[in-house]
Amino acid sequence: MKPIAIIAEFNPFHQGHDFLLTTLRSHVTTTTPLIIILSGSFVQRGEPALFTKWRRAAWAIQSGADVVLELPTVYALSAAPAFAAGAVRLAALIGCQQLAFGSEIGTAHDFYEIYQKRKKIEQVPFSPGNYTYGQYITNQLRPLLTPTQQKMLGSPNALLGIEYEAARSTYASKMELYPILRSNRHDSMTIEKGFASGSLLRKAFQKNDTAFLHAYLPPIVKNDLNDIRSQGEYTDYTRYGDFILYALRQQSLDTLRTLPAFSEGLEQRFLHIVSHSSTWHDALCKLKTRRYSYRRLCRMGSYIVLHPAASLFQQAYKEGPPYARILGLSPVGRKFIKQSSAVIPYVSKIPPFLKQASLYAKEMMSLDMQATDLQHLSFVGSPFHTGNIDFYHPPYILPD
């Protein structure tokens, strides 16, 4: 039995995710634990998830996953290398021996070769010029690769797979990569081979395109959407953006410099542009340059409103995850947890954990709870605007 980790957002859980879990299950026994490392209340592109982490965990467990663990917010709101490293380290700390992920192209050997060649290039000092560091690495790397590997450099999931390989090589060398070919990109805005991307489905949900959603979502998700919509249990991104505008207008240059990623004078540009913008979307359009992607700017927006210290991110990157927060369990998952030789504690109830946690773990957990409260405060439905949700919301448990 080799526990398999899958790093995911499931925002929402769709037919492509169902295909991934079904494919994995067809290659292993029914008692092989499938462990989901799930971005929690915020996702890596730098904004609240559209749906709660407990809804998404329940969808995963009902579709064949055995354990859903929350990726701490520090890693969920980091650029791809730190995001991948945090998730891979969490998987390794609880005993996962394989890491499965969807990729548009590439084998495990391709990911290994690309990373090994990239690592050699990264050892040579970089002289800033007309390229960013990332563009420089890509330009140096491309001539060294096979045609298939060159195509991987233009595929977002494959690029993330390279970061998984980097993290595996650094922190979990005995773990095996298990790429599964997917038919479309995660951000595709067109239907490809019968699958719709998460981006397309989120847009359809926000437009209330029920017919489209029902055509491309599994039954367990379709059955929940009416309740979610009628209750307003989903994120209003305009409302969230207003929180960023307000929070930034209370900041000084000195306080912005204490946040992650605010350097190179960008904090001055943020203050000037946001103070003259009527919406967060308008500010993003003005802030966007070739050097600063929307994802990076959105993550910086989340730092403004959540206000984490840059030092916490630095400590998290150095020390790794200090706990494994349980969001969902199947019967197989409960057995896995009971027999697990994890070297970090599992957390199902927050209060008893905080009584004995280190200061570092408390700060990490505090940011997770802040993220959940902010996501819920951004929901359409006012009944969800209460705080401290993490204190009393239990994991989703699938009965025997």
73 in a structural domain:
yes
Which residue is listed with tokens 């439905």? Answer: 381
Q: Among residues 296, 260, 297, which one has the least CA distance to residue 277?
A: 297
User: How large a percentage of the chain has pLDDT more than 70?
Assistant: 95
151 in a structural domain:
yes
pLDDT of res. 136: 82
- Residue 5 is which amino acid? A
Q: Is 72 annotated as a binding residue?
A: no
Q: Is 10 annotated as a binding residue?
A: yes
pLDDT of res. 129: 63
Q: Among residues 229, 218, 304, which one has the least CA distance to residue 17?
A: 218
Residue 35 in this model has a pLDDT that exceeds 90: yes
Q: How many CB atoms lie within 10 A of CB 291?
A: 11
CA distance 88 to 171: 8
Which pLDDT band holds residue 131 (cuts at 50, 70, 90)? low
Residue 324 in this model has a pLDDT that exceeds 90: yes
Q: Is 147 annotated as a binding residue?
A: no
CA distance 136 to 117: 14
Contacts of 197 (CB under 8 A, 6+ apart): 14, 16, 184, 185, 186, 187, 188, 189
Residues paired with 179 in a beta bridge: 101
Which pLDDT band holds residue 137 (cuts at 50, 70, 90)? confident
295 in a structural domain:
no
pLDDT of res. 192: 58
Residue 266 in this model has a pLDDT that exceeds 90: no
Residue 262 in this model has a pLDDT that exceeds 60: yes
Residue 183 in this model has a pLDDT that exceeds 90: no
Q: Is 225 annotated as a binding residue?
A: no
Tally the domains of the chain: 1
Q: Is 321 annotated as a binding residue?
A: no
Of 51-60, 180-189, 225-234, minimum mean pLDDT range: 180-189
Q: Is 110 annotated as a binding residue?
A: no
Q: Is 101 annotated as a binding residue?
A: no
Find the domain containing 120 and state its range.
4-187+321-357+388-397
**CATH classification at residue 12:** 3.40.50
348 in a structural domain:
yes
53 in a structural domain:
yes
State mean pLDDT over 32-53: 97
Q: Is 15 annotated as a binding residue?
A: yes
Q: Is 19 annotated as a binding residue?
A: yes
183 in a structural domain:
yes
pLDDT of res. 400: 85
What does the chain come to in residues?
Answer: 400
Residue 398 in this model has a pLDDT that exceeds 70: yes
Q: β-strands 98-103, 4-8: how paired? A: parallel
168 in a structural domain:
yes
Q: Is 13 annotated as a binding residue?
A: yes
CB 303 within 8 A of CB 261: yes
Q: Among residues 66, 67, 65, 110, which one has the least CA distance to residue 90?
A: 67
Residue 233 in this model has a pLDDT that exceeds 60: yes
270 in a structural domain:
no
DSSP secondary structure, 108-138, as one string: HHHHHHHHHHHHHHHTSPP--SSS-HHHHHH
Q: Is 18 annotated as a binding residue?
A: yes
DSSP secondary structure, 352-366, as one string: HHHHH--HHHHHHHH
